[in-house]
Chains A and B, each alone.
Chain A
Amino acid sequence: MRIELVKRPERSKLFAALSPLIALGLTLIAGAIMFSLLGKDPVEALYYYFIDPLREVWSLHELAVKAAPLILIAVGLSICYLSNNWNIGAEGQFVIGAITGSILPVMFPDFQSWIVLPLMLLMGIAGGAAYGAIPAYLKVRFNTNEILTSLMLVYVAQLFLDWMVRGPWRNPAGMNFPETRTFSPSAVLPEIWSASGRANWGFVFAIVAAIALWFMLSRTLKGFEVLVLGQSPRAGRFAGFSQSKMVFFAFLVSGGLAGLAGISEVSGAIGQLRPTISPGYGFAAIIVAFLGRLNPLGIIAAGLVLALSYLGGEAAQISIGVSDKVVRAFQGMLLFFVLACDTLILYRIRFVGASAAKTVEATQNV
């Protein structure tokens, strides 16, 4: 038997809505099998994974805390990927944004005013954008592959942060441990609704950025330019769009948003710089961007789903004692199913039997 894809004349609206549900269903089945094999009650396990984190308000706050950087970075990356710029160094731009954004609270702790926070955020954006501009410049000027340079710069950024918090920026009152001084209250990103949990304005930024970029992509000429240059650089050139400018635009936007995510995370959720400030948000965001089909609104949903899978993983670890590795394997499985099911949006699947006569339509033509 062979599987064949038949391109649909147009995107299937039905499957665009249905495919996440099918993926979820398949994940539930596969997950249930996996948990049963491990000797756990599958229903209980899946309950903790998907439902338990949504039951309490504080946990919803935590979901927002976890999803905010993922969404913020991923929407920026969507511009990159749509325009064919392969920025996989968002993690580095996140880190540099966090560092430049922290200049004020670390070096001038006595400067306390309402203006500190806006300045920090702007400096974070500028830092991330500037760091993103390096691979963009190398690509435009020397034709250097941006996948590699942006990835290499991640390691450099992390080591730079490490050096800063152990060296020049070490907390004078911190017993020589690697961390900066804690930010003063005026440098801390406020919580949205502090009575019920610790979700901060970073989540609002993420939603606003997603909506703004969605608007840009779907309603403005700039968005059209992104799509045209991404799909067909030749056609773009005929339309008078500049490929080089687009490279910078994409990297500056995604770098800036990653930088904003970095300073928001440090200022809102952590409160100081430390040797590691990100558990790989910049890389996880790549998955989020594709899970959301590079659509900023889809990315909001995708970011929440991935965040849920982290929280659910913890709940499952605590409650029924499945290990962290199971959680990660399960995450990988979930991604596989979501990606696979998205195929249904653009294609019909035909199972072609050994004899051509036995062709079976697997799905109805919608």
Chain B
Amino acid sequence: MKKTILSFAAAAAVMSFGTMAAEAATKACFIYVGPIGDFGWSYQHHQGLEHMKKELGDKVETAYLESVPEGADAERAIERFARSGCNIIFTTSFGYMDPTNKVAGKFPDVKFEHATGYKREHPNVATYNSKFHEGRYIQGVIAAKMSKAGVAGYIASFPIPEVVMGINAFVLGAQSVNPDFKVKVVWANTWFDPGKEADAAKALIDQGVDIITQHTDSTAPMQVATERGIKAFGQASDMIKFGPTTQLTSIVDDWGPYYVERVKAVVDGTWKQQDVWGGMKEGHVVMAPFANMPDDVKKLAEETAAKIKSGEFNPFTGPIAKQDGSEWLKAGEVAENGVLLGLNFYVKGVDDKLPQ
């Protein structure tokens, strides 16, 4: 026992030397809401970390905490990072918004980057997000071309603006090809429960949809679609391995370039507060290769992607009617980012009532 205490003391001494020596490198720290093994949201952020580490090499040191619950634990986790010598901290879930800002106020020298939020209460807080809906529009175009039934199934997680935006973009894309196209929505009330997502996919297929898309994280719906012999879209990562003959394409969250850019800015001392909402143009949203579709559909999808990527076309361009038929956007009018980021209504053609 005595020996253990001694070695603890020795360890403590080593520790304090350790921190002194480490100050040369920039330390980038990440907080994930799920396990890095979720193969979805947190997994992709961790891939971004790995990419950044490879790009910047010796200049950075990294650390991460996974499965940090939103709520009281988040603040502690962020503060611990701030105290442990992190120079930049990425908090990668919406629920970390208030804790991030609170801790940022206490540590003005540390940079904070909060994903998907809108509060920047201190000059050392930046926010970033991705325009996933751009990819969903392209999916809608493909779905309308590929579907014989004229109706797609949409497995949704929670009714937050980002998800609603995705459903709307998907419908708009589909209607650009087939104005009568319909979407059935099932809320799984989870980001992550393979069994439930599989059940939702089966329920939708049994009700006659012949294309499945999802805004939940697991690969289960893709497998169900494969089994039932219909087509589907992947989510968050390229899921082609789970449906080699099924996946049409997938929206891949590629956080790597953003993380390289921002950490490098800290290394160079050029970091500034900003609010970035990057899409296909910035390379934050990448489409997995278009597959399992005829050449003409592929060509149309590629053209649509190119138009969005070049900035020539915005999916939320009028005329767009709301679900009840009333006008939302006039012809040629483009939705403001502020409205989109707080979106809580459907466009015409969605076969669901949005929880209010």
Measured CB to CB, the residues of A under 8 A from B are 25, 28, 43-44, 46-47, 51-52, 56, 58-59, 62, 65-66, 159, 162-163, 166-167, 175-178, 182, 198, 265, 269-272, 274-279, 310-311, 314-315, 317-319, 321, 323-325
Contact = CB atoms under 8 A, between A and B. Distances in A.
B29 to A, nearest CB: 8
Nearest to B99: A270
A318 B65 contact: yes
Given A51-B12, A317-B65, A325-B35, 11 more contacts: A43-B8, A47-B12, A47-B15, A56-B83, A176-B343, A177-B160, A265-B71, A269-B72, A274-B71, A315-B80, A319-B84
Given A47-B11, A321-B63, A28 B4 contact: yes
Contacts of B77: 314
Contact of A166 (B4, B66, B158): B158
Interface in B151-194: 158-161, 189
Interface of B: 1, 4, 7-8, 10-12, 14-15, 29, 35-36, 63-67, 69-73, 75-77, 79-81, 83-84, 94-95, 98, 118, 158-161, 189, 341-344, 355-356
Given A43-B7, A58-B83, A159 B189 contact: yes
A58 to B, nearest CB: 7
B280 to A, nearest CB: 23
A10 B231 CA distance: 70
Nearest to A272: B98
A177 B161 contact: yes
Nearest to B10: A43
B76 A66 contact: yes
B98 A271 contact: yes
A354 B196 CA distance: 52
A264 B230 CA distance: 50
Given A176-B342, A177-B161, A324-B66, A270 B76 contact: no
A84 to B, nearest CB: 32
A44 B71 contact: no
Contacts of A177: 94, 160-161
A178 B93 CA distance: 13
A223 B70 CA distance: 38
B320 to A, nearest CB: 18
Contact of B76 (A62, A277, A323): A62
Nearest to B66: A324
Contacts of A319: 15, 63, 84
